[in-house]
Structure formats: C-alpha cells, structure tokens
Amino acid sequence: MTISLFEPEDLESRLRRLGLTEVDAVRTHANRTVMLSLRRRVLRIHRGYAHAPDRVLGAIVRFLSRSARREARRAAEREFLAFPVHHHVPPAPHRAAAERPRPGDAAVIERLRASHAALNAVHFAGTLADIPIRLSGRMRRRLGELVAGLDDGRPVAIILSRRHLRRDPWPEVEHTLLHEMVHQWQAEEGLPLDHGRAFRRKAREVGIVPRAVRRVD
C-alpha cells in the first residue's frame, strides 16, 4: 500500500511554485508511454507525479527549462523518470491493438526507411538512429508522430498516417517524415518534444515548415 502526502489537484500549483514558466496549462494523464511532454505551451504530465516530493518536481522544472545545459537536463530526466508513478496511479488500459500489416505495407515502409536514411545523411550528418517506421489508419488529423520510450524518453518509432500516404504526393510525405525526424533529433539530444524555439530553429535549418500544423492540399 502506498501512502501519499500530496493530492493530484495540487500538481500544477506545486510546479509553478518551483519555477515552472512559459506554460499556459497543465494536463494530466495516466498512459504508458510518455511521462511528460510540452507542446504549444501545454504540459501533459503523468498524474502520478502529484504524489512526488518537491525534489522530483524540481527535476521536472529543470528538465523543461530552455536555459538548462544538456548535462543538467539529462541528470534531471534521470531523476524524475526514477520516480515510480505507476505505484501511485496504475497505467490506463491499453485499448487499441496493433494494426495488422496490409498488402503493400512492406514496400512503402522500405521506401520510407530509404528516405529516412537519405534525409539523415543530408540534414543530420547521419547521426540519427535507425528506428522503426510504422503506418497507422487511426490518424484522422495528424500526419505523423514520434513515439518516445517510457523509461528513457528515447525515440521508439515514427508513425505516419495511411490517409496521408494515400492522398498526398511523395514530397509531402517526405516533408512529414522530416518533421518527425526533427522530433527524433530532439529526443536524442535530450530536448523537450515540442514545437518551441529549438524545434523551429532546426526545422528552418533542414528546410521544412517550422509549425506544429500545416495545410496539405
């Protein structure tokens, strides 16, 4: 049995008291994949951290600070990931089963992997890891996403929308792939997975639209 001294509704106020800035809203979740993420000035964080001591929440604030050095961010990340959130809030049930492969998937994925390797060589000096690329028929509004690991925040896979691949020309698909590769670069560099200043700078550097959402005709 776990005994907690903190109530979940206190989480946002505690983070702000410890120095959290440049965040408009805090949303909690109980999923299995990402402990926290910051996008469009909205922080999504596992609600189990409401039961963490200030030392752990302070590590989260340091990790999210744009001025923190890489070594300090890595140390802060290790500290807050070590806190057993699932002891306080069990993971939400995994509702969606993995999609079954469809005819033609292998050829499409192989082409995407070749594009990933080429873009990696041109824009990232070949430094990005070779990670799986998957297709999803469940995406309705998103063109793609990067999945990061639960334990260490490292990139696990890039997922692209089947609808996007079916509807749009290949240069647009490669644009989306490169967008997710910038997120992969963020994860491998220990940066927040967001569309903030570092993302926009890198996006302009590699020649893609530096925005979270773009119109594809």
pLDDT of residue 2: 35
Mean pLDDT of the chain: 85
- The residue-averaged pLDDT of 45-55 equals 90
Q: State yes or no: pLDDT of 217 exceeds 60.
A: no
pLDDT of residue 98: 61
Q: What distance in Å separates the CA atoms of residue 14 and residue 185, rounded to the nearest whole number? A: 30
DSSP-based three-state secondary structure for 140: coil
**Amino acid identity for residue 95 in this structure:** R
Q: State yes or no: pLDDT of 162 exceeds 50.
A: yes
Q: State yes or no: pLDDT of 41 exceeds 50.
A: yes
Give the pLDDT band of residue 119 (cuts 50, 70, 90).
very high
- The residue-averaged pLDDT of 142-158 equals 82
Whether residue 38 contacts residue 196, with contact meaning beta carbons closer than 8 Å, is answered with: yes
Q: What is the DSSP string of 67-78?
A: T--HHHHHHHHH
Domain extents for the chain?
8-88, 105-206
Please state which of the ranges 31-45, 65-79, 170-184 shows the lowest mean pLDDT.
Answer: 31-45
- The residue-averaged pLDDT of 21-40 equals 82
**Rg, Å, the chain Cα set:** 18
- The residue-averaged pLDDT of 203-217 equals 76
Q: State yes or no: pLDDT of 16 exceeds 90.
A: yes
Residue owning tokens 């890039």:
158
Residues 53-94: pLDDT tens digits?
999 999 999 999 988 898 999 999 999 989 888 777 765 444
Q: Which two tokens stand for residue 99?
A: 């999609």
pTM above 0.85, yes or no: no
pLDDT of residue 197: 87
Q: Which two tokens stand for residue 205?
A: 């550097």
Domain 105-206 has CATH 3.20.20.140: no
Q: What distance in Å separates the CA atoms of residue 144 and residue 189, rounded to the nearest whole number? A: 20
pLDDT of residue 6: 42
Whether residue 171 contacts residue 146, with contact meaning beta carbons closer than 8 Å, is answered with: no
